[in-house]
Chains A and B, each alone.
Chain A
Amino acid sequence: MESKPIYQFHKGDRLEITSVQVEGVMRRRLLDLGFVRGAVIDVVQKSPLGDPIAFRVFNTSIALRREESSLIHAVKMEEDSEVKVQ
């Protein structure tokens, strides 16, 4: 399965994070918010221009700018583990 930056997925996709390449203070911050390798997150909402994007991480919605979401990689999970988002 191909790993890509999480902003490239679509609303409703369920992802498993494969790497977090952000550095420094922002890295710490993202890890604390739950963007860790192995975490399962959902793409909840894309704004009209595609930035920022809201993700659901361990029960909390968190919006990330392209700046950060381009440095977090994930793979899309199987269809049967997908959640429906209307």
Chain B
Amino acid sequence: MSHRVALAGNPNTGKSTLFNLLTGLRQHTGNWPGKTVVRAEGELRTDNHTFQIIDLPGTYSLYSNSADEEVARDYIIFEKPDITLVVVDATSLERNLNLALQVLEMTKNVIVCVNLIDEARRKGITVDKKELSRRLGVPVVLLSAREKIGVIQLMKTMDQMVDGKISTDPYLIPYEEEVEKKIEEMEPRIKEIFGDSMPSRWLALRLLDGDKNLLQALKTYIRDPQSVEIKHEPAQGGCCHGA
């Protein structure tokens, strides 16, 4: 059984470089259904597992401002990868964490890959991996996809995550009291409809935001869940959706 891993992140953070490093020649590309956005998939075999890696388009956000953002959002929400690797640029963490925090609201199974660590070192930037991991509530791996640093640690962390040996506690942004109250009212209803198949807090926030694009995607999903190609695999251990 292979586990699906999505690579998300801002543009130009080295997602494709990491993708190529992980998958070597075992990859193929196509288009996302109905979109002119390239979809690249490849296979990675670690000591214990086989992973199917999907290289998502680079975006600053996942609030469907563009076809790229829609593709990335839909993949994480509807296709539910077993792991989402959020690739961030070590030299501009402040910018990159915007997307990372959005992903943490969508799924628990996240590993934050701080890439371009070689470039950061050259610029005198150090990243406190332990503290970042503590604050974000998910594993953090320091990487240089170009200089092939940190890849073994990443594969180890991926193995541990699908083996259920890592339990995450993603940082969730606290909102104003008024918003939090509304979320609290909505979540039970959302859970009634979707069970554990949707991140209820995230969905409540999108609804409060009046995200019409997402509503449309949801309607399609409710009518025909297969239309978005959901391939459910049994949850592994304690760290996955619904477990």
Contacts and interface: CB of A to CB of B under 8 A. Distances in A.
Given A33-B60, A59-B92, A59-B94, 10 more contacts: A28-B61, A28-B63, A32-B65, A32-B98, A34-B95, A34-B98, A58-B92, A58-B95, A59-B95, A60-B95
A65 interface: no
B115 interface: no
A60 B92 CA distance: 9
B144 interface: no
B64 to A, nearest CB: 9
A10 interface: no
Interface of A: 25, 28-29, 32-34, 57-60
B91 interface: yes
Contacts of B94: 58-59
Contacts of A59: 91-92, 94-95
Nearest to B10: A60
A29 B60 CA distance: 9
Nearest to B59: A32
Contact of A29 (B65, B91, B95, B98): B65
Nearest to A28: B63
Nearest to B97: A58
**10 closest cross-chain pairs (CB), A and B:** A32-B61, A58-B95, A59-B92, A32-B60, A29-B65, A58-B94, A28-B63, A34-B95, A58-B92, A33-B60
A59 B13 CA distance: 13
A29 B91 CA distance: 22
Interface string B38-71: 0000000000000000000000110101000000
Nearest to A25: B65
8 contacts: A29-B61, A32-B60, A32-B61, A32-B63, A34-B98, A58-B94, A59-B94, A60-B92
A57 B60 CA distance: 13
Interface in B59-106: 60-61, 63, 65, 91-92, 94-95, 98
Contact of B65 (A28, A58, A60): A28
A75 to B, nearest CB: 20
Contacts of B91: 59
Contacts of A34: 95, 98
